[in-house]
Amino acid sequence: MKLPHHASDASLLWSQTAWDAPENITVTAPWAPHGDGVIPEAHRAHLFGPNVSPELAWSALPTGTKGLLLVCQDPDTPRDGVSTHLLAALDANVDSVGAGALTAGTATPGIVLGRGSIKRGWAGPFPPKGHGPHRYVFQLYAVAVPLDLTAGFRLRDVADAGLPLTGRGRLTGTYER
């Protein structure tokens, strides 16, 4: 049985008018040398297994950046809307995250993990079998004010805040079961 509904890019935070900003940050990962790539096994969801958040890095941030918001969303979900697989607030001095730094239960200085659609911290890809390839869009937003958020914050806590953005960048990972 083929599952219906692919939310499309229009459902991504990236496509929302309030989150429009200069695309002046380059987000990189060892598994995505050209801005996109297949998410490695260790970073995928498993009933039993690693499900470790991936390593990510980004270029120098725009002048005036005081905080960062990192969001990973799957626009190809069979659910209504998108599925948020990661939500994290980072201090502006954080220029990369190592593997596992965004996994729930990991205390990484300068990072506050929010709760996405599934859980707090990284929730690796686990699309339905036979639903085709899914894209996991890592979106990094540079913000001109410090993000004073507590662990477990939700996207709705920041989505309508009208945050002053200084820039943004993104990287896309894919996975199909």
Q: Does pTM top 0.85 for this prediction?
A: yes
Look at the block and give the residue holding tokens 């990991």.
106
Tell me how crowded residue 157 is: count the other CB atoms within 10 A of its CB: 16
CB 83 within 8 A of CB 164: no
Per-residue pLDDT, 128: 86
Per-residue pLDDT, 8: 75
pLDDT of 1 > 50? The answer is no
**What pLDDT band is residue 119 in, cutting at 50, 70 and 90?**
very high
For 65-74, 87-96, 99-108, which range has the lowest pLDDT when averaged over its residues?
Answer: 99-108
Alpha helices (runs of H) in the chain, residue ranges in sequence order? 155-159
pLDDT of 44 > 80? The answer is yes
